[in-house]
Amino acid sequence: MRRRQGEDHLPVALERRRLYILPTRGGLAFTALLFLMMLAGLNYANSLALFFTFLLTGFALVVMQQCHRNLLGTEVIAAVAPAVFARSTGAVQLTLANSSAAARPLLEAALRAGTLVSADLPAGTQRRIELPLAAPARGVVRIERVRLSTAWPFGLFRVWTWVHTPVTLLVYPHPHGALPIPAHSARAAGARSQLGAGADEWVGLRPFRDGDSPRQVDWKAYAREAPLLVKEYVQGASELRMFEYAQLAHLDQEARLSQLARWVVDAEAQGERYGLILPKLRLAADRGPEHRHRCLAALALFGLEDTAR
């Protein structure tokens, strides 16, 4: 279908000239019934049959306008698609608003080939509708337009329109891979901390200094009349981890990306700082949801930058 109007800049209110309306299958059946009733009424000069034919004809015309009204003036506030991992189902989040005094029941939204999602929009409200969108492989899924329609109130007519708002769904690589998180990268080695505890590597003892935690004092040694000593640990690269594409040379490209994604996800979950080194891109170590997104996005678009736009 060719685009009748340019790209829509959200928010946009649906106006009259972009709405199309046609009878549904039920509407066609209803029309056929009306035709039959009219033939019978005329043939037998049956006044009541004719009257009910005309009444139901008027009814259908009223319904057509009601249906049209139900979509007319609906505001599309936003259409966004939060990034998801490959092999899962993403969603286009469509925010619709109804600023009129009447409810707009059963609005339907659909992506080009997607299933219909319907929602009621009470008077003066905003609502977000999630349109499922399959994300089979990493990269981007681009949606050019969203179809809004409604057959309310009687299902005899369906009015619809296309909202041309490009939405890009970023699909991260499927996080997968059995390799353990690399212990620590070369540049992070030597970063020391006295605060760590638990499974970190024990390095040795050093004399107590002001500010050392009492927990790290070697009390057993102290009890043996030794000077106050502090146990020192090297934290196993918990400070900085750099994940390198090049390190995974034995895997193919997608498997590498999946493994890197796995590490990014795990490192973030453990609250660690991590960075990413790809052939043409280097992301400095950091943490936080934003950093995670940056890393995963880089993995998602790896090798696709030229074709993505």
Residue 101 C-beta: closest distance to another protein, Å:
5
Residue 108 C-beta: closest distance to another protein, Å:
11
Looking up tokens 């990493």, which residue turns up?
A: 138
Nearer to another protein, 49 or 257 (CB): 49
Residue 5 C-beta: closest distance to another protein, Å:
18
Nearer to another protein, 73 or 182 (CB): 73
Q: What is the dihedral of CA 191, 196, 197, 199, to 10 degrees?
A: -30
Ordered strands of the 88-98 beta sheet: 12-13, 75-80, 88-98, 125-135
Residue 78 C-beta: closest distance to another protein, Å:
4
Distance, C-alpha 185 to centroid of its chain: 33
Coil, strand or helix at 306: helix
DSSP state, residue 214: G
Nearer to another protein, 232 or 256 (CB): 232
Residue 235 C-beta: closest distance to another protein, Å:
10
Residue 43 C-beta: closest distance to another protein, Å:
5
Residue 126 C-beta: closest distance to another protein, Å:
6
Looking up tokens 């056929």, which residue turns up?
A: 32
Half-sphere exposure of 263 (CA within 13 A, CB side): 26
Distance CA 101, CA 150 (A): 18
Nearer to another protein, 156 or 260 (CB): 156
Nearer to another protein, 154 or 251 (CB): 154
For residue 11, cis peptide bond before it (omega within 30 degrees of 0): yes
Residue 160 tokens read as 């619809």
Nearer to another protein, 130 or 254 (CB): 130
Contact predicate 279/264, CB 8 Å: no
Nearer to another protein, 138 or 273 (CB): 273
Q: Quick count: other Cβ atoms within 10 Å of Cβ 154?
A: 17
Residue 183 C-beta: closest distance to another protein, Å:
20
Contact predicate 273/286, CB 8 Å: yes
Nearer to another protein, 256 or 291 (CB): 291
User: Which residues, including other chains, have CB under 8 Å from residue 170's CB and lie 6 or more apart?
Assistant: 81, 83, 84, 140, 297, 300, 301
